[in-house]
Amino acid sequence: MAQEYFDFTNDLIFRWVMEREENCLAILRAILPELKITAVKRRENEHPVNYLAFDDERGVRFDAIIEDDQERFYDVEMQVANQPGLGKRVRYYQAQIDQETLKKGEDYDDLRESYVIFFCAFDPCGQDRRLYQFHYYEDNDRQLRLSTNSHVILINALGTKDQITPELAAVLDVMNRRRDNQNPLAVSLVKEIDDYNRDKKRRRALMNLKMRLKDERRLGLSEGRAEGRDEMALGLIHALQAQGMPQKQIVEALALARKISLAEAQRYYEQVAQADSGGEH
């Protein structure tokens, strides 16, 4: 029986690829050739989410921000499921960039130019375009644009319309598991992803992630109805406690899985702690 192949849309694979600055640079230049980016560096968030740690590694870091040579900031994400609330997710990531990159003592006038970029394995807007860009416009006068210095780009891996760079087309072919694109970027990404699939330690991490997501679905966290959500959240806390995960990581994992605030996740954790102690304060 052939081993399961984990591709570019897999959350861990995508993050491993993007951990390499040369990949970040190549992909950003493919999306935004007009910016003429010459160098990038990854800036880890002050409060990264360490979720699904494996073996002796410190865990998977989510939401690293990329900074280019002109002090522009980028958050690049992979979106596989076409879930409701994509606009709110964009808004959240934009707020995270601003929070993490505004230096102490600076005010809003010092906000840098930023880009939130989602690679989507579906058409997020239903117009068959390969790339959608969004800014703030006045409702009655589309020529009037509010200068926020922020940009949103949604990339549709299934699209057929719009002119894009050969390099971005190569990335989309990799997303779609097309292995015949001989563009150097496509060849490099396919080789790297193949290597991750062959590496025993990384493959173990991929399988662990798959199993934990399966457990989450079993608990009803992914598709649960509004009724019983509290029980689902508490069930996830107990499951992560059983795996020996520390409190801080459990709270962060719950917030990520349920798309709730850290404060709300902390309240759930305290409910479990109080119940386990017999209701004592």
**Residue 104 banded pLDDT, cuts 50, 70, 90:** confident
Residue 216 confidence (pLDDT): 64
Lowest mean pLDDT among 33-42, 144-153, 251-260: 251-260
Lowest mean pLDDT among 51-55, 69-73, 203-207: 51-55
| Stated pTM of the model | 0.72
Neighbouring C-beta atoms of residue 90, cutoff 10 Å: 21
Lowest mean pLDDT among 108-117, 181-190, 230-239: 230-239
Q: Which residues pair with 132 in a beta bridge?
A: 154
The whole-number average pLDDT for the span 129-150 is: 94
Q: Can you tell me the distance from the alpha carbon of 204 to that of 197, in angstroms, rounded to the nearest whole number? A: 9
Q: Can you tell me the distance from the alpha carbon of 106 to that of 117, in angstroms, rounded to the nearest whole number? A: 25
158-200 pLDDT, tens digit each: 999 999 999 999 999 999 999 999 999 999 999 999 999 999 9
- Encoding tokens for residue 48? 């990264």
- Encoding tokens for residue 151? 């940009």
Residue 219 confidence (pLDDT): 61
